[in-house]
Amino acid sequence: MDTTDLHTEAWEGIRNSCDAGRLAHAYIIVGSPRGNALQFAESFLKLLYCESSEKPCNHCTNCRLIDSHKHVDTLWLEPQSKARKIKADEVRGLVHRMTQTSFEGGWKAGILVSAECMNVNSANILLKTLEEPPPKTILLLLTDSPQSLLPTIISRCQKIMLSKGTNDAADTVWQEPLMEIMREFPPDGGLDAARLAGRLKSILDTVKTEIAYVVEEELGNNDEALDESKLKDVLDARTNARLKEVQSEVFRIMLDWHRDILLLVCRADAEHLVFPDEQSVLEGQALRHTQASALQAIQVVEGMVRRVDRNIPAAQIFDEAFRKLVKRL
């Protein structure tokens, strides 16, 4: 199903603004950076560049160039480094390109995939462009974690909230199983910790298989010819990069869950919970914690993030961390 069908209200708002010449200079598109948010952004760009009177036609040269991310007046940025960060130099290059004349005399567009991966320096460089945008330029920030963006960036962008689309196959594989694990926290002992750690490792192994299938299909549909010697390297690199994005989201959810527990232990107002629908489960888990142990649980999850970045085997990281989360009453 096309993204514009999935998100009719958001899409009609953008179409009407485009027809009336009232587009904002920057948008935060909240959804899956590899799924519905990406497809929405591509459809958005086609409104700007499509050659047909009925936009977007999805068939003209410019529409096809948008689909392949090769349109000359669009610049795509996404995390490339091992640390999965968007570097300051990369954002600086995008900003410089936005100040130059477009090749086709129309719009210039910058698209940041997983915009939450900007560090503070990167975000501050982008902020200058948001404060004084060049004419006929538009920035699209794709993210599933808008709370990770600087408040000053959020305040200068219009936000488009997308519900989860049916095309986010890898997401559906892990999200509910992860929540089932969270509902069983804290582990009752070493064996229980090992069981839960094994389930998490199994979930991510399944996600990796799903991602590899999607990437392989994308490479097969790509016009760029790759010989066999390079194909496996490209497949592995792209699969592992996307798996790291999922792992980051898994750890973010785990952190938010344990922060909710800390809020309840501290008797904070429940309206601040990230998971209000899980309040009864969280309250039950909070009864097994003191402020010190709830804070320690957050630190354990943060330690998992650091260890994954050092390429320690995931099974070892999960097992050791979950054992530390055992609550000894």
One-letter amino acid for residue 283 of the chain: E
Report field, pTM of the whole predicted structure over 0.75: no
pLDDT on residue 206: 86
- Within the chain, which residues score under 70 in pLDDT? 1-7, 81-83, 163-173, 217-231, 328-329
Going across the sheet that includes 74-77, the strands are: 74-77, 108-113, 137-143, 26-30, 158-161
pLDDT in tens, 272-302: 888 888 999 999 999 989 999 999 999 998 8
206-225 confidence digits (pLDDT tens): 888 888 877 776 666 544 44
Residue pair 33/1 in contact (Cβ under 8 Å)? The answer is no
d(CA 55, CA 38): 18
User: Mind listing the domains of the chain with CATH numbers?
Assistant: 3-161 (3.40.50.300), 169-324 (no CATH)
CA distance 317 to 250: 14
**Assigned token pair, 252:** 């973010």
Q: Strand 74-77 vs strand 108-113: parallel, antiparallel, or unpaired?
A: parallel
Tell me how long the chain is: 329
